[in-house]
Every structure is written in structure tokens, then in C-alpha cells.
A and B are shown apart, each in its own frame.
Chain A
Amino acid sequence: MSGTAPTDSRPGTAMADAAPVLTVRGMRKEFPGTLALDDVALSVRKGEIHALLGENGAGKSTLIKCICGAYAPTAGEVLVEGRPVSFATPRGAVEAGIAVVHQHYNLVPTLSVAENLWLGERLPRRLGLVDWPAVHARARQVLDRVGLDIATDADVATLRPDQLAMISIAKAVSGDARIIILDEPTNALLPHEVDRLFDQMRGLARRGHSFLYVSHRLAEVFEIADRVTVLRDGRNAGEFDRAGLDRRAVVDAIVGKSATLVARKTRSHAQAQVMMQVQGLSGQLARDVTFDLHAGEIVGVAGLPGSGAEDTLNLLFGRFRRQAGTVRIGGTLVDLRDPAAAIAAGIALVPADRLAESMFHAESIRANISMPSLAKYLRDSVIRLINRSAEVAGTLQVAEQMHVRMAGIESPVSDLSGGNQQKVVLGRWLSTGARIFLLNAPTAAVDVGAKAEIYNLIQSLAESGAGIVFASTELEEYPVVCDRVFVFSQGRVVGELAGDRLTEGNIMTLAAGGDLPDDAT
């Protein structure tokens, strides 16, 4: 992909020296205990497609929310065409000409295209009833303006993802938006759909609309963006013009020089014995994944969203149907047809979304820890009465081992902080006899101190001989946690990194479809 050298006949470049239509100055946003944005500046010119880049947690989403009025900034100002604006509500931003198109395009799937375009506005009427011909005529005009050739009475549910993205953009344009903010619009799009979307965006930019384009797909950014602003840790980390756009420099800006200094994992507990052999595993987005996991080893699977890295974990836990491939544990073939079978085979999963996939919110800490291992605490095998005092003793031991800070084992799990909740989720697998731990973003939405604790818990699991497969949305975690990392791109493993070559920058380069300079894989 790195071979597709962009031409210089970009549509936006014609207006590149025009006055900025959107300017952000000295933007600062504090949350209790966190500084999310620190003196951030940004300027988007008229008719420009401007990319906003940064890792998870760099402050991209916070910045957008401050621009569109969803958050009130702690300090700083937003100027539209040179005039300072401030909105208490997202509605105010819309009136000032700023529209945000979110990842899921804010469309109602059960309504028609025309109804979606009119959503939130008063429909034209005749004799007190909705004037449907007028509704469709106006919708037609809006679609024609962005060059979208679809019927206005089509159900939104029947359309392609790129058409959905364009309808959202059309809606923004019809509301006289001069600045359209796209928050990772291509996540659900196939490559040819992305091309179509980009063509239409360029057409709109030529007519004076400006885009702020948030993405972490580097290849796409290089294809579409006139200029690039990079954020890191809530600060400006670089600004690049089309002329000075160089992949290495952008990756360095995203990742930061400090990344090479982060405490890299030094001691491995990996043993010679192979614990799990994955051969040709396919399913969901993952294609033909093959690797070995040794006892005591921490293997990372890394990639951008939709690369198949995450799907590999879910396939190994039997959450999705496996299309091909075999998995052997200790040399024996295992059929991981559902989570229960995976648990029986000694596998544990910490899913990515703690709130939706792992917590039992209404239950106590005790019940949350013992849920998959209740069979250990039974008094009999017929009625399956639970021995409550054994359960309390067992879960208390786990909570102590995991350093869960709590008022008591019977406290509601919802009273715990995110980090302690995650320790509970990790701890519930200590009693099931699991030897293989699949950890998907185990440090997501936990604070810095809890992160370090969770890293330590992962290392001590490895020390005890468990095999660990680790995934994270924060690439900087891989060199800290893992012995080896497999990098995924478009469903396939495109590289294996270990030792000195295991760096955040190398992961990013491979994940974005690039090649390493001295690549030997």
C-alpha cells in the first residue's frame, strides 16, 4: 500500500493558502484527575481535507467534543471564519456551520433515506398533513448536491456503508455545514467503498467545504489529507503539509520519541514447552492465523481495528464460528465450539468491553468472581447446593491475590473503580483451572496506577507457567507486556516482532500496511 504515491493534483491544494475557516487556540480540557487536552491548536482552511491523527487516548475525541459543544473546554477558544464562537450545546455548533458525522453515522435504519435527511426538522405540510412529494423533492436535491445516486424512498437498512456515510455527509451539507468533522468514517468500509467516499469528499472540498478527518488508518490519511495534525498525550505533536508528509515522520510524531524509553519488558518466563498450537485459524475477519504459544509466554496480537487480531482471541474462546483451522492444547486437538468448551479446555477470556461483556453489575464482588467456577463450591452433585462459606473463602483469596481494593467481598461490584473491576474479571479465571489466558485490552478504561498493577498481575500469571495471548488498543503496551508480537493487517499475520525489533513504531508501520526497512519476516 505504501507504493501508491499520491499525486500533487489534490483538489484541496488549490485553496491551501486560503484563510482558516476553523481555528482552535489554547484548548485545554481537564477531567477529575486527568488533563485530556493541554494547549492544543488546530487550523482548518477553506476547502481543505485535514486529518487529525493520534493514538487511543491522545485526545482526538475530546478535542472534537470540545469543538462541537459536547464538552465545555476548561480554557481555549474556537473561531469560525475568524469570529470566536462558543456553544453550550451541539445544536449551537450546527448553527455555526460545524457538523459531526460519527462512526455509526447517526441514521435510523428503519426509516427511509428522505425521512433520515429530514430527521430533527419540521416536515413540510399541506392541510396539516405531511407533504410527502415535497419531502422527497427536497431530499432529491440534497442527494444530487453530493452526487449520490440512490432512491429517496430506499430503506436505510438496505444501503452500503459508504452510502450511509455519504447520506450523513449530505445531511450535514444540506444544513449549510462549512466544516464537516468525520470521526473514523471508514471503520466499516471496504477498500472500494472507501475510494468512492473519498471521491465524493474531494468533490465537496472543491466546492469549498472543509473536512476534519479523524482516523488511525495511516494509508488512507496519506491518500486523502491535504494537511495533518498529530496529537499525543493531549498535546500537539506535529503538523504536516501534503509536501512534507512522510510516513516515518508521522509515525514518530504519533508514537513519540519517549516510546523508545518506556520500560521494555526485560525478563521472560517463557518455557520450552509448547502449550497451544494454532494452525490455519480463520473466522470473522481473521485469515489463516498460525502460531505457537509456550508455557509462561506472553504473545501479543496487534493490529488496527478490523485487522483480525481481536477476532483471533474471540475465535480461540469459541465466541464465533471457526471457518477453518485447528487448535491443539498440550498436543491434543480441541474443539472450541462455544465458550463453555473453551473453559473446559482450560482457556480464559477477558473481553474488551468490561461493562457489556464481563460485569454482572447487580451482583456482589463475590458472585462476580465465582460465576464461572461455582462448580467448585457445591455441597452435592444433584441439587447443586452451594457451600456459601467455601465460596466466600475462595473468592476472598482471589480478591487478595489480585489486590482488589474493596470494602468487603459482599460489596456491589459497581462500587469498585474500573481498575479494581478489571482485577475482579481477571481473578474470576484463577479458580477455573485456566492455563491459557486471552486478554483483550485488559487495561482499557483504567487509571495509570491500576494499569501498572494489571501488568504485574499478567507477569505473575506468566511466571506461574500460564500462557497468555494479549491484545490492546494502545500499541505502546505491547513492548512493555509481551515477549513476542504478531502484527495483523487485513486479517492476516504480516509480521512477527521480538527483542529489539519489538517497538511501537514497528508495530504501527506493519499494521498500517508498510514494510520494515530491514524486514526479514
Chain B
Amino acid sequence: MTQPETGAKPALPFNLMRFLSRYGTILSLVLLIIIFSAGRPEVFPSVRNMLNILNQVSILGIIAVGLTVCMVVGLFDLSIGAMATFGGYFAARFLAEIDSDSVLVVLAVMIAVIVLAMLIGMLNGFLIARLGISPIVETLAMSFIVTGLILGISGSRTVNPSEITMTFQWIGQGRIFGIPNAVLILTATAFVLWLFLEHTQSGRNMYALGGNKEAARLSGISFTRYALMGMAIAAACAALGGMVAGANLGSGRPQGVGETYLLNAFVAVFIGASTLKPGKFHILGTAIGVLLIGVINNGLSTLGVPTFWQYIVQGTILILALISASANSVRRV
């Protein structure tokens, strides 16, 4: 039967929960910066240290912004850790085999690796959208397959720094106008994906699918198409992040590279979804989440606090962020 309409929503002049759910993470970022600056005024609040923080989180950031795109579509990608290892190892291996220091060759190899990663991502998207497999299970399975492929092809042998061209290493270690290259790559990736999600038809269609899949389908939007696209972008960013990590380390390790970023990338994306636009995944939010993780880790270590505190603080902030985000979405319903 027809439900009676509820009356107009009461207009609240100021709602603390609402304020916190939007600006809570930014507020805690500012608070942490103030606390750390007060604790170590000679070390923490310097330009040098700020660039240092950005450099430390740049690889995580590149992976997390890619993950944001697939989560906007309502999907999930647990294979980004394996894909990061994939990117780092194969870029190093191909360059070692070709043994050319030309900038064009390095770029071509990097693009080739990204294309390979996108193909794997599209396979993920196809299996999920067309065969209806759960994204969590499918990408977990894919991460095993990718890890196995890398170990098999590499024979578990690391590509050593001596085998890797200087041009490639410069990408992960060099600076332009004093800014680390890794930070520039993160900035460019984040900007492109922000533009893509917020200002192109494809991005808007992705938000529509993530918001209400059936309504999106009835608006003529193909889920398969954007599942392929979203998973491809997540895989490509993971591979790019892995390449930057490999270039930074100056080696191509066949294991243990991507796993360190996997969980932190999810933490950053979830913190981002409770920032500014509660309940929505978005690039700016993810960037703030990444920054928060960087500030916590860097600040606590400059204060000389034992490492275990970094985990506890990070976990607590994530829980608080999720509580404030869910408090808001519960009221919506």
C-alpha cells in the first residue's frame, strides 16, 4: 500500500556529527601536524620533511588512486599487491634484457607493462561482470595466479641494480626542481583520475553504477564496459606504483613488493570515503587518506615512538573515520 509521506526534513543549523563526518579526517590531519610540529619543531615542520613525507607515500598514493576508481564502480580489487610486484619486476626484467639506456626505450617498456597490467585487469572485469563471480574472490584468485607467474618466470631471482639502466632508476630516485619524481608521478596520476571521475561521461557513469546498478542499467549504462574499465585502471595504477617502487629500489624483486601497499591502499580509500563527501569514494578523499597515513608514520618515527604505535594510531583513525561515515549514511536511510 501507499506509504504516507514523511514530513519535510527538519533543517538543522549545525550538526556536529555531520560536520565531523565531512571534515573529521582533515581536522585530524591538521591536529596531527600541529602535535608533531610541537613535538619536534626543528625536524617535522620543514619543507624537506614535507617532501620526504610525500615521497614516502607516493607509491602507496599511485596504487590507492587506481583502487579508488574500481571501488567507485562498486567493485573491489585484492590483486593490486600482486599487480604492483608484477609491474616492478617485469619493467626491471625487460629493461635488463634489452639493456638500452634510451629514454624512449624505458618509456616504451613502461607503457608495455602497463598495457599488460590493463589486460589482466580487463580479464578481472570480464570474469566479474559477465560470469557474476564475486570481485573479492576473483581478484584474490588472480593475485595467486599473477604471483605464481612472476615466481615461475623469474625463477625467484631478483633483477640486480647493476642490470638496471640509470634512466629507469632516475624515475624513482631523481628530482625535478627539487621535487621527487615519484611525487610528480603521483600528482599527475591523481589529477588525471580526478578529471576522469568527476568531469568525464565515463566517470559519471561509473558513479551511477556504484550508486544504483539497476537504475544505471535502466539509464542505458553498460556494467560490463565500466567494470572492465575500472578494473583495468586499478591494475594499471598498481603496476605503475610497482614500477616506481622498483625504480626507487633499483631492483626488480619477484616477491614482497606489492603486499606492503595492499592493505594501506584500502585504508586510504576508506578514509577518503569519509572525507568531504561521506559515503562516496573520490580521488581527493583518497589523497587525504594517503597523506594521513604518511603523516602518522613519519611523525611518530620523528618523535621516536615505537613502530607498533603507528599501527595502533592508524587503526584507530580508520575506525573513527568509518564510524563517522556510517553514522551519516545510516541517517540517510
State the A residues within 8 Å of B (CB): 31-34, 36, 56-62, 317, 319, 339-340, 342-344, 349, 351, 356-363, 367, 371-372, 374-375, 378, 383-386, 388, 414-415, 417-419, 428, 444-447
Extra contacts, 18 of them, besides A357-B212, A385-B195 (Cβ < 8 A), are A33-B4, A34-B4, A36-B4, A56-B1, A59-B1, A358-B218, A360-B207, A360-B208, A363-B207, A371-B208, A374-B205, A383-B200, A385-B200, A386-B201, A414-B332, A417-B5, A419-B5, A447-B5
B215 at the interface (CB under 8 A from A): yes
A386-B204 contact, Cβ under 8 Å, with A36-B4, A340-B220: yes
Whether A363 lies near B211 (C-beta < 8 A) is yes
Tell me whether A57 and B332 are in contact (CB under 8 A): no
Which residue of the partner chain, among A360, A385, A428, A446, contacts B5 with CB atoms under 8 Å? A446
B202 within 8 A of A: yes
Determine the chain B residues whose CB is within 8 A of the CB of A428 once the complex forms: 219
CA–CA, A356 and B215, complex, Å: 7
Q: 0/1 per residue, B212-246, Cβ < 8 Å to A?
A: 10111111111000000000000000000000000
Which of B199, B219, B332 has the largest number of chain A CB atoms within 10 A? B219
CB pair A339 B201 closer than 8 Å = no
Cβ–Cβ < 8 Å partners of A61 in chain B: 1
8 A-B pairs with least C-beta separation? A31-B4, A34-B4, A340-B220, A372-B219, A384-B201, A343-B220, A57-B2, A360-B211
Taking the complex as formed, is B22 at the interface, i.e. its CB lies under 8 A from any CB of chain A?
no
Query: Is B9 an interface residue when CB atoms closer than 8 A count as contact?
Result: yes
A378 CA to B5 CA, complexed, in Å: 37
Question: Contact partner of A356 among B4, B207, B214, CB < 8 A?
Answer: B214
Measured CA separation A342–B195 after assembly (Å)? 30
User: A66 CB to closest chain B CB, in angstroms?
Assistant: 13
Shortest CB-to-CB span from A118 to chain B, Å, is 30
Neighbouring B residues of A36 by C-beta, 8 Å:
4
Interface residues of B (CB under 8 A from A): 1-9, 195, 199-202, 204-205, 207-208, 211-212, 214-222, 279-280, 332
Smallest CB gap from B332: residue in A: A414
The residue on A at minimum CB distance from B212 is A360
In the complex the two chains form, is B200's CB within 8 Å of A360's CB?
Answer: no
Residue in chain A with minimal CB distance to B211:
A360
Give the Cβ gap from A183 to chain B, nearest Cβ, in Å. Answer: 11
Q: Are B332 and A56 in contact (CB under 8 A)?
A: no
Residues on A with beta carbons closer than 8 Å to the beta carbon of B220: 339-340, 342-344, 372
Q: How far is the CB of B207 from chain A (nearest CB, A)?
A: 7
Check B5 against A418 for contact (C-beta < 8 Å).
yes
Query: Which residues in A have their C-beta under 8 angstroms from that of B219?
Result: 339, 343, 371-372, 428
Closest Cβ of chain A to B297, distance in Å, is: 31
Kindly list chain A residues whose C-beta atoms are within 8 Å of the C-beta of B195.
Answer: 385
Residues in A neighbouring B215, C-beta threshold 8 A: 356-360, 371
CB distance from A35 to the nearest CB of B (A): 9
Cα of A360 to Cα of B215 in the assembled complex, Å: 7
Q: How far is the CA of A479 from the CA of B220 in the complex (A)?
A: 32
A-B contact pairs, 11 of them (CB 8 A): A32-B6, A317-B218, A359-B215, A363-B211, A371-B204, A385-B199, A385-B200, A417-B5, A418-B5, A445-B5, A447-B5
Chain B residue at minimal CB-CB distance from A418: B5
For A444, give its contact among B2, B201, B217, B279 (CB under 8 Å): B2
Bound-state Cα–Cα, A363 to B282, Å = 13
Q: Which residues of A contact B7 (CB under 8 A)?
A: 32-33
CB distance from A393 to the nearest CB of B (A): 17
Measured CA separation A453–B146 after assembly (Å)? 58
Question: Across the interface, do B199 and A58 meet the contact criterion of CB distance under 8 Å?
Answer: no
Residue in A31, A32, A359 whose beta carbon sits within 8 Å of that of B212 in the complex: A359
Answer whether A357 and B218 are a contact pair too, CB < 8 Å, given A32-B6, A58-B1: yes
For B204, list chain A residues within 8 Å (CB): 367, 371, 374, 386
Closest to A388 in B: B199
Query: In the complex, which residues of chain B have a beta carbon less than 8 angstroms from the beta carbon of A58?
Result: 1
Distance A34 CA – B4 CA, assembled complex (angstroms): 6
Cβ of A418: which chain B residues have Cβ within 8 Å of it? Answer: 5
Q: Which residue of B lies closest to A391 (CB)?
A: B204
Shortest CB–CB separation between residue B193 and chain A, in angstroms?
13
Minimum distance in angstroms from B20 CB to a CB of chain A:
18
Closest to B196 in A: A383
Closest chain-B Cβ to A340's Cβ sits at a distance in Å of 4
B218 to chain A: which residues have CB within 8 Å? 317, 319, 339, 349, 351, 357-358
Interface centre among B2, B199, B212 (most CB of A within 10 A): B2
Contact A375 B201 (CB under 8 A): yes
Cβ-defined contact, A339 with B217, below 8 A: yes
Say which residue of A31, A362, A378 sits within 8 Å of B201 (CB atoms). Answer: A378
Contacts of A360 in B (CB 8 A): 207-208, 211-212, 215-216
A340 to B5, CA, bound (A): 33
Report chain A residues within 8 Å CB of B201. 374-375, 378, 384, 386
Distance (whole angstroms) from the CB of B85 to the closest CB of chain A: 31
Minimum Cβ distance to chain B for residue A445 (Å): 6
Q: In the complex, A373→B204 CA distance in Å?
A: 11
A417/B8 in contact, CB under 8 A = yes
Q: A371 to chain B: which residues have CB within 8 Å?
A: 204, 208, 215-216, 219, 221
Q: Which residue of A lies closest to B200 (CB)?
A: A384
Residues of chain B within 8 A (CB-CB) of A349 are 218
Cβ–Cβ < 8 Å partners of A385 in chain B: 195, 199-200
| B268 CB to nearest A CB, Å | 20
Q: Tell me, rounded to whole Å, the shortest Cβ–Cβ distance linking B325 to chain A.
A: 12
Provide the residues of chain A in CB contact with B216, threshold 8 Å.
360, 371
Closest-CB distance, A399 to chain B (whole angstroms): 17
Which residues of chain A are within 8 angstroms of B221 by Cβ–Cβ distance? 340, 371
- The distance in angstroms between the C-alpha atoms of A293 and B198, with both chains bound, is 40
Cα(A357)–Cα(B218), bound, Å: 8
Shortest CB-to-CB span from A391 to chain B, Å, is: 10
CA distance A31 to B5 in the complex (A): 9
Alpha-carbon distance between A58 and B204 when the two chains are bound, in angstroms: 41
For the complex, what is the distance from the CA of A241 to the CA of B112, rounded to whole Å?
81
Q: How far is the CA of A378 from the CA of B205 in the complex (A)?
A: 13
Name the contact of A362 in the complex, choosing from B3, B202, B211 (C-beta under 8 A). B211
- The answer to whether B2 and A445 touch across the interface, beta carbons within 8 angstroms, is yes
Interchain CA distance A344-B5 in the complex, whole Å = 35
B219 to chain A, nearest CB (A): 4
Question: CB-nearest residue of chain A relative to B214?
Answer: A357
Closest chain A residue to B204 by CB distance?
A374
CB distance from A472 to the nearest CB of B (A): 11
Compute how far the CA of A88 lies from the CA of B215 in the bound complex, rounded to whole angstroms: 38
CB distance from B18 to the nearest CB of A (A): 12
A362→B333 CA distance, assembly (Å): 11
Q: How far is the CA of A371 from the CA of B202 in the complex (A)?
A: 11
Chain A contacts of B211 at CB under 8 A?
A: 360-363
- B217 surroundings in chain A (CB, below 8 A): 339
**B315: shortest Cβ distance to chain A, in Å?**
27
Residue of B at shortest CB range from A363? B211
Chain B residues contacting A56 (CB-CB under 8 Å) are: 1-2
Are B199 and A415 in contact (CB-based, < 8 A)? no
Nearest CB of chain B from residue A461's CB, rounded to whole Å: 18
A266 vs chain B, min Cβ distance (A): 26
